Amino acid sequence: MTEHTVSFVVGRLGDLIVQEAFLLSGVTDKVQQMLTEMKRMKTRIINITNSWETYCIKNITKASATSKSQIQRRLRETNPIMEDDNFIGLDKSIDILLKELMEERRLCVVSIVGIGGLGKTTLDKKVYNHIDVKRDFNCHAWVFISQKFERKTLLYQISKQFGYEADQSMEESDLVVKLRTFLENKKYFLVLDDTWSEDAWSILKVAFPNGKRGSKVLLTTRSMIVATFADPWNLYNEPCCLSKEESWELL
């Protein structure tokens, strides 16, 4: 579409220049030079446009919040262990979460609840990559849920991260059984980031047994209803507000 538009504009300008050339004398060489330069400009514009599209910026003139959110979502999906080192004010929240996650009790869901932009994903990544978590649990998985998701795709991603090489052609029901069996005697840690509805945990939980004592699921959500539904007996966590000193540090 972009290439067609550029070609049309350059072509029209070229036609106008040629028409003007017939009305003038002694400028043929200059006109030819201008046409050659315009062709070079056309090629350069198309190359630049293709480069933009490679980096997911498909329509500069109509850049919107939607395209921005899609780019952010892709980064979050494909970089589950990519952290933001420039975080402030999360130390207390990290300590609270680690204390809960290290408790040797039944499988439970620990929730981080808060509005968008509060730092929930940054917090769960810090916890996920913490040395104590890596050492204490037998296997780990981190998946991004969001509003639209497919259960089989999520289960396949989780299985792969846990270390179970599931066959993509496997029926969903078989995948659930195989994953449950694989985790039965393991102490596992699962992060479900950006969970929007009760349905997400409701349709996924069947694949996760109690496992070895101490297994945990860490869930981030904007909804208190989702957190309560996932585990009504467990306390939820909110990223702590910045202190006065931390606020000044941020500025």
Are 56 and 77 part of one and the same domain?
A: no
Q: Distance from first CA to last CA of the chain, Å, rounded?
A: 44
Domain count, the chain: 2
Q: Do 47 and 89 sit in the same domain of this protein?
A: no
Does the reported pTM lie above 0.75?
no
Tokens of 230: 């996932």
Per-run averaged pLDDT (10 residues), the chain, 251 residues: 52 56 57 72 65 44 53 56 59 89 88 87 92 95 91 94 90 94 94 93 91 91 92 72 50 46
The confidence score (pLDDT) of residue 250 equals 45
SS (HEC) of the chain: CHHHHHHHHHHHHHHHHHHHHHHCCCCHHHHHHHHHHHHHHHHHHHHHHHHHHHCCCCCHHHCCHHHHHHHHHHHHHHCCCCCCCCCCCCHHHHHHHHHHHCCCCCCEEEEEECCCCCCHHHHHHHHHCCHHHHHHCCEEEEEEEECCCCHHHHHHHHHHHHCCCCCCCCCHHHHHHHHHHHHCCCCEEEEEEEECCHHHHHHHHHHCCCCCCCCEEEEEECCHHHHHHHCCCCCEECCCCCCHHHHHHHC
Dist CA 80 CA 103 (whole Å): 24
For residue 29, give its domain range: 2-63
Of 76, 70, 71, nearest to 191 by C-alpha is 76
pLDDT of 58 reads: 44
Q: Which two tokens stand for residue 97?
A: 């979460």
Same domain for 165 and 188, yes or no, is: yes
| 44 and 156 assigned to the same domain | no
**Whether 87 and 112 share a structural domain:** yes
- Are residues 137 and 165 located together in one domain of the fold? yes
Q: Residues 94, 214: one domain?
A: yes
